């Protein structure tokens, strides 16, 4: 796939660490874009972004973006591959919904035809994939030189449920910003916080119902984040409006603050460090990676979460409490414990100290650099 000139240039220069990233990327507002931007910023060396866009995205040139793969572009993977081959390694973010083709299948020929080593980061490993999704992910793993999962649950699902080469799979946690550099600023009332891109499945309705049981501790509850762009496109603000209506029905609207903005890192750090409890009432029993969960833990804020897989892995015996899905009574009881049980909040926050150093982006980027280095060593001079 690489031109003769590109191959000659790669052979002529010494072993380097130039990274080509394939992903959604800001100004697209989604978890993969945020992840990719942070990883690219923390990996030492030259690099560039091959940005994947959907219909309606702002496709104006962005700093660091060397090529844009538009959703409607026929065989767009070919030009994207050529752009990636100007770097020493391609780091590819994978989610079924971000690439063109059914289940994002167009990323597969790109990987199969790349002339440089590839690292594929799996943001989703389904426990119950369709036969097509299962076959596609198996082929993606076969085509890649290395695979990264961000949780042990995702790794185990991949190795047990799919036919893959276990030697290719590495576990590197999702990175987090250093929120603790921002002082904690707590208000006169306990502050509960849920943040991220908002839409059905976030389970915020369960948190509102739990809030109705917490009149004795009188917390405020902030729902921060814009509506997910894909939800906004298909459903408008129907979900958010349903949350307004539910809060009114429950009589808790006066304790709820909606903050429908996409925050920069500094602003987000101040918000997270103002919380007494981060509440993650997600409906999904599939979610093996949650960037919000990692950020909350790294910020040293106690977490109350439903038992989605990443929460079970990270919070069991750790910096938070787990509750069943769809149970506002249990959710309220767990929040009340954190707010009122002497010493519990400090104990939960204290359990983050052993975790944080491995979760911050510089440490995570070092792990990627080590993995990439091992791949490049295997390449012919």
Q: Are residues 162 and 183 in the same domain?
A: no
Q: Are residues 190 and 250 in the same domain?
A: yes
For residues 98 and 76, give the distance between their C-alpha atoms in angstroms, rounded to a whole number.
Answer: 13
Q: What are phi and psi of 357, to 5 degrees?
A: -60, -30
Please compute the mean of the pLDDT values over residues 301-311 and round it to a whole number.
96
Q: Are residues 131 and 183 in the same domain?
A: no
Q: Are residues 208 and 103 in the same domain?
A: no
Q: Are residues 332 and 366 in the same domain?
A: no
3 or 131: which leads in pLDDT:
131
Q: Are residues 232 and 276 in the same domain?
A: yes
Q: Are residues 272 and 166 in the same domain?
A: no
pLDDT tens by residue, 233-288: 889 999 999 999 999 999 999 999 999 988 888 999 999 999 999 999 999 988 99
Output the domain CATH number for residue 317: 3.40.50.2000
Q: Are residues 48 and 107 in the same domain?
A: yes
For residues 62 and 72, give the distance between their C-alpha atoms in angstroms, rounded to a whole number.
Answer: 20
pLDDT at position 262, please? Answer: 83
For residues 306 and 352, give the distance between their C-alpha atoms in angstroms, rounded to a whole number.
Answer: 19
Q: Does residue 224 have a pLDDT over 90?
A: yes
pLDDT at position 377, please? Answer: 86
Spell out the alpha helix ranges (H) of the chain.
4-12, 31-42, 76-84, 107-113, 131-143, 152-161, 204-211, 229-235, 238-250, 265-272, 291-298, 309-315, 328-340, 344-350, 353-359, 361-378
Please compute the mean of the pLDDT values over residues 87-93 and round it to a whole number.
97
Give the domain extent around 344. Answer: 179-358
In sign, the C-alpha dihedral spanning 128, 103, 306, 246 is negative
Burial 225-253 (b: 16+ CB within 10 A, else e): bbbbbebbeeeeeebbeebeebbeebebe
Q: Are residues 184 and 301 in the same domain?
A: yes
DSSP string of 9-39? HHHHSPS---EEEEE--TTS-SHHHHHHHHH
Q: Does residue 223 have a pLDDT over 50?
A: yes
pLDDT at position 9, please? Answer: 38
For residues 262 and 107, give the distance between their C-alpha atoms in angstroms, rounded to a whole number.
Answer: 28
Please compute the mean of the pLDDT values over residues 285-306 and round it to a whole number.
93
Please compute the mean of the pLDDT values over residues 339-359 and round it to a whole number.
90
Q: Are residues 198 and 339 in the same domain?
A: yes
DSSP secondary-structure letter at 343? T
Whether 281 and 191 have beta carbons less than 8 Å apart is answered as no
Q: Does residue 184 have a pLDDT over 90?
A: no
Q: Cis before residue 27, ω within 30 degrees of 0? A: yes
State the pLDDT confidence band at 97, using cuts at 50, 70 and 90: confident
Q: Are residues 298 and 212 in the same domain?
A: yes
State the pLDDT confidence band at 381, using cuts at 50, 70 and 90: low
Q: Say how many domains are in the chain.
A: 2
Whether 232 and 218 have beta carbons less than 8 Å apart is answered as no
Q: Are residues 373 and 253 in the same domain?
A: no
Q: Does residue 30 have a pLDDT over 70?
A: yes
Cβ neighbours for 241, distance < 8 A, ≥ 6 positions apart: none
Q: Does residue 6 have a pLDDT over 60?
A: no
Average pLDDT, the chain: 91
């Amino acid at each position: 796939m690489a031109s003769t000139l590109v191959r000659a240039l790669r052979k002529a220069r010494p072993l380097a660490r130039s990274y080509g990233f394939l992903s959604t990327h800001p100004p697209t507002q989604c978890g993969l874009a945020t992840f990719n931007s942070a990883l690219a910023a923390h990996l030492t060396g030259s690099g560039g972004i091959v940005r994947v866009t959907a219909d309606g995205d702002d496709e104006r040139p962005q700093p660091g973006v060397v090529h844009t793969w538009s959703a409607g572009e026929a065989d767009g993977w070919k030009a994207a591959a050529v752009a990636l081959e100007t770097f020493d390694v391609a780091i590819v973010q994978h989610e079924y919904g971000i690439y063109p083709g059914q289940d994002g299948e167009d990323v597969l020929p790109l990987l199969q035809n790349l002339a440089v080593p590839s690292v594929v980061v799996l943001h989703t490993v389904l426990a119950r994939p369709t036969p097509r999704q299962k076959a596609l992910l198996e082929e993606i793993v076969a085509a890649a030189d290395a695979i990264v999962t961000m949780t042990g649950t995702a790794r185990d699902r991949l190795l047990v449920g799919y036919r893959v080469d276990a030697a290719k799979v590495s576990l590197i946690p999702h990175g987090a910003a250093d929120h603790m550099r921002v002082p904690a600023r707590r208000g006169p009332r306990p502050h509960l916080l849920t943040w991220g891109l908002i839409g059905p499945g976030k389970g915020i309705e369960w948190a509102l119902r739990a809030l109705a049981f917490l009149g004795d501790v009188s917390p405020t509850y902030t729902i921060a984040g814009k509506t997910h762009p894909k939800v906004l496109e298909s459903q408008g603000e129907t979900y958010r409006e349903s949350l307004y209506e539910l809060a009114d029905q429950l009589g808790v609207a006066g304790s709820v603050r909606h903050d429908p903005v996409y925050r920069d890192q500094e602003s987000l750090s101040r918000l997270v460090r103002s919380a007494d409890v981060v509440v993650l009432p997600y409906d999904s029993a599939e979610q093996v990676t949650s960037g919000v969960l990692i950020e909350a833990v790294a910020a040293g804020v106690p977490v109350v979460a439903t038992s989605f897989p990443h929460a079970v892995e990270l919070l069991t015996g750790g910096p938070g409490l787990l509750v069943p899905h769809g149970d506002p009574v249990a959710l309220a009881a767990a929040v009340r414990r954190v707010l009122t049980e002497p010493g519990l909040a400090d104990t939960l926050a204290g359990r983050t100290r052993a975790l944080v150093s491995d979760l911050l982006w510089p440490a995570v980027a070092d792990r990627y650099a080590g993995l990439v280095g091992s791949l490049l060593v295997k390449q012919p001079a």
